[in-house]
Structure 1
Amino acid sequence: MARVFIFNIIRFVVLTILQVAVFKNIGYYNIAALFPYILIILLLPTGMPNFFLFLAAFLTGLTVDAFYDSMGVHAAACVALAWFRIFFHKITLDVDEQAFQTPSWGNMGFKWFSAYLLLGTLVHHLVLFFTEVFSFQDILYTLASIFFSSLFTVAVILIISLITYNRKSRLAN
């Protein structure tokens, strides 16, 4: 249990530093931005209590907001992602059997993980961009930003997941 906690703190620090130092400066004509820091929330253990999940999501978003100078936009999107995560896990997982297992590509398989990742990224980006714009005036531009940012974020997260893929956990199942 302590090992999982320490590993998640290290993941939080590394992904937050990468987000604010590297991925903040990468974009495509203000249409697409990369937000792979959402892996912090997506890869938290499945048996984590909801209160701590929402707290971790809020603090993750607040940390990113501090570096982006955005007033709570990332915090709102991360809390929405935590809500989606609870909903998705209730529908697709038997939590009693997989308590405190990291929902990763190696543990859950590619089909489950890719659906989880794609839908979670879309929820996060919908809340993020619509809260940031807070208007339906340029809806096509906002929808294009959501689509392309989600596409690039999912691609980068899949690359990160491929690099950190753990085969031993799949063989144990």
Structure 2
Amino acid sequence: MGRVLIKYAILFLVLVLVQVLFLNQVQFSGFANPYIYILFVMLLPVSSPKSVVLISAFLLGLSVDIFSNTLGMHAVATVFIAYLRPLIIRGITNREEDMSDYPGLKQNGIGWFFYYTTLMVVLHHLVLFFIEVYTFTNFLETLYRILLSSVFSIFVIVLSQFIVFRD
């Protein structure tokens, strides 16, 4: 239990630091910005209590908000996907016994993980970007930003599973 807690604490810290120090500085044409910090919520064990997942998601989003000066937008979007996470996992998993407790690529396969990542990232980005603009005036431009940032985020998250998270 202690090793698992330390592992996730380090993952939390590393993802926040990578996001705020490096990835927040990466922007293509002002439209595409990768957000990989949500990988922490995605990789929490499936058997984790919902309250732990929601509190962790809030703290994760709040940490990114503090360093990004975004007034709770990341916290809201991250808690939103943490709340929907069990429904998404149940919806895309055929049978309960097929599901590993760790929702990673190696444990569940590339197809499952890609679908899971796509759903989580798109939902996160929908909430994040519509809260950011707080209007539907430039609806198509916001959808374009969501699409580009989602594709970029999904690519980086799946790539990280091949490079960093091989266990």
Specify the TM-score bucket, using the shorter chain as the normaliser. Answer: over 0.9
Coordinate RMSD, CA, aligned:
1.6
Alpha-carbon deviation of 1:89? 2.0
Structure 1 segment 1-173 matched on structure 2, within 5 A: 1-93=1-93, 101-166=101-166
Name the CA distance, whole Å, in 2 between partners of 1:125 and 1:42.
Answer: 14
Which consecutive residues of structure 1, in runs of 5 or more, have no partner in the other structure? Answer: 168-173
Q: Residues 89 and 95 of structure 1 are in contact (CA less than 8 Å); yes or no, is this contact kept in structure 2?
A: no
Distance 1:2 1:95, change over 3 A: farther
Q: Deviations over 1:2-33 (max 9, x none)?
A: 22211111101111110011001001121111
Which consecutive residues of structure 2, in runs of 5 or more, have no partner in the other structure? Answer: none
Q: Deviations over 1:144-167 (max 9, x none)?
A: 000000000001111111102436
Alignment: residue pair count: 166
TM-score of the superposed pair, with normalisation by structure 2: 0.93
Alpha-carbon deviation of 1:88? 1.1
Q: Residues 62 and 72 of structure 2 are in contact (CA less than 8 Å); yes or no, is this contact kept in structure 1?
A: yes
Segment of structure 1 superposing worse, 22-31 or 90-99: 90-99
Tell me, what secondary structure is at the counterpart of 2:30?
Answer: coil
Query: What one-letter code is carried by the residue in structure 2 that aligns with 1:4?
Result: V
Sequence identity percentage:
36
Name the CA distance, whole Å, in 2 between partners of 1:29 and 1:97.
Answer: 42
Distance 1:66 1:165, change over 3 A: closer
Q: Residues 43 and 104 of structure 1 are in contact (CA less than 8 Å); yes or no, is this contact kept in structure 2?
A: yes
Tell me, what secondary structure is at the counterpart of 1:8?
Answer: helix
